[in-house]
Amino acid sequence: MTPDSASTRLPRFAAYLAALPGGLAAYPDCIAKGALIRTTVDDQPGLVSRAAELPRELARLLLDPPLAGEWLPEAHFVALFHAHNDLLGLDEVGVQARSRERNRLLFESPAYRILMAVLSPATLLRFAGKRWENFHRGTRLEVSGASDDGVRAVLRFPRNLFDRLVLLAYGQSFAAALELSGAREPVVHLERVEPESGHFRVVWG
């Protein structure tokens, strides 16, 4: 796949790689759990037939998905996330809806449900940084002002590792975790995006 064809057929994927220092080789110390890859692609078997449209490193993740407990480069996960959404033709609203649904299923699975088994949404958020580390390394989630009905959070990462769309999707993963902890109608607002951070406000009923 040439850069020109990627730009035409996979525009968000191409834009992400163009902004990422070093492309797919960027930030090898930033890693993500294989469970996130499986959650992204497991229910889309038709994508396997389009693996040839992706770089070899990402095609391999479609053809031979990692085990849930494996660690992989975060840049590979985010790039596959963008390519996957491009191939499915999802707009921003569709990406967020799918992210919330898929993360809810992940958190409700036997392997991870115990990680979300907390007393209250506020308790979940106080330990959100540790929960984040169960799925990501090399990036950091910071929560401040946790209360019974809201919180602010900052996700910190190397330059351009996460962009607006993936931050919106991660916001929906936060909402899915809150739903599992008993929060009523959680809403996650992405208030600001910077090259090395995303700033969120989270509220619920």
Residue 31 pLDDT = 98
Domain end point (choices 88, 107, 141):
88
Residue 94 pLDDT = 94
Identify whether residues 122 and 58 lie together within a single domain.
no
Identify whether residues 124 and 181 lie together within a single domain.
yes
* Residue 176 DSSP code: H
Does residue 104 lie in a domain region?
no
Q: How far apart are CA 141 and CA 72, in angstroms?
A: 19
User: What are the residues facing 80 on neighbouring strands?
Assistant: none
Residue 160 pLDDT = 98
Count of domains in the chain? 2
Tokens 């899915």 correspond to 176
Does residue 106 lie in a domain region?
no
Identify whether residues 131 and 184 lie together within a single domain.
yes
Domain end point (choices 88, 103, 134):
88
Identify whether residues 31 and 81 lie together within a single domain.
yes
Residue 6 pLDDT = 52
Q: How far apart are CA 179 and CA 202, in angstroms?
A: 12
* Residue 65 DSSP code: P
Does residue 172 lie in a domain region?
yes
Q: How far apart are CA 7 and CA 18, in angstroms?
A: 10
Residue 147 pLDDT = 66
Residue 116 pLDDT = 65
Nearby residues of 142 by Cβ (< 8 Å), 6 or more positions away: 129, 153, 154, 155, 156
Does residue 99 lie in a domain region?
no
Q: Could you state, in chain order, the average pLDDT of each consecutive group of 10 residues for the chain (205 residues)?
A: 58 95 96 88 74 88 89 95 90 93 84 67 81 94 77 95 97 90 90 97 87
Does residue 98 lie in a domain region?
no
Residue 124 pLDDT = 79
Domain end point (choices 88, 123, 145):
88
Does residue 102 lie in a domain region?
no
Residue 141 pLDDT = 96
What pTM did the predictor assign? 0.89
Residue 48 pLDDT = 79
The whole domain housing 175 covers 115-203
